Amino acid sequence: MGINFTIGNAKLESDPKDLSACWYVEAKELEEAPKFPNEFLTGSNNFSFSYLSFEDFISKSKIATKIDSPHPGIVAITPELQKEFHNALKKRQKESTKPPGFIPWDAEDGDPICDKYDYILAILIRFDFWITWALKNCEYPAIFNT
């Protein structure tokens, strides 16, 4: 189990027969979206975390806004949210001594590649890219979590 985020344009899906409605964010892929070593994403606005890795990301990045609350749910992207992620990214870039990237799924403890990349930096770059893109290109910029 884990948490998935999709960042982009929010859409309302409704069914008048049972008076139900829910918001979601459209899937999108962009060639210019950031890509990093040892990942399987191909420029997608959708990415996933285990609950533990998401908690680790929030703790280490110092992001205060609850982008996962409610869960599942949707959070509007505001200029203030963009600034929070952008500032966290700039701070991490100054502090990090490693390039952005991820540990391969099949790496074993003690493997030198486990200490080669800064995955917090990679995630911040991805969030910053998609949040900025959504604010510039979407009628209803949002972060959807499931």
Rounded to whole angstroms, the maximal C-alpha distance in the chain is 57
* Other beta carbons within 10 Å of 25: 25
pLDDT mean over 94-122: 88
Smallest Cα–Cα separation from 3: which of 61, 34, 44, 46? 46
Smallest Cα–Cα separation from 133: which of 49, 42, 44, 7? 7
Question: 3-class SS at 104?
Answer: coil
Q: pLDDT for 30-70, tens place per residue?
A: 999 999 988 876 789 998 988 998 999 999 999 988 888 88
**Contacting residues for 133 by C-beta, under 8 A, at least 6 apart:** 7, 8, 30, 45
Q: pLDDT for 69-81, tens place per residue?
A: 888 999 999 999 9
Q: Please give the mean pLDDT across all residues of the chain.
A: 91
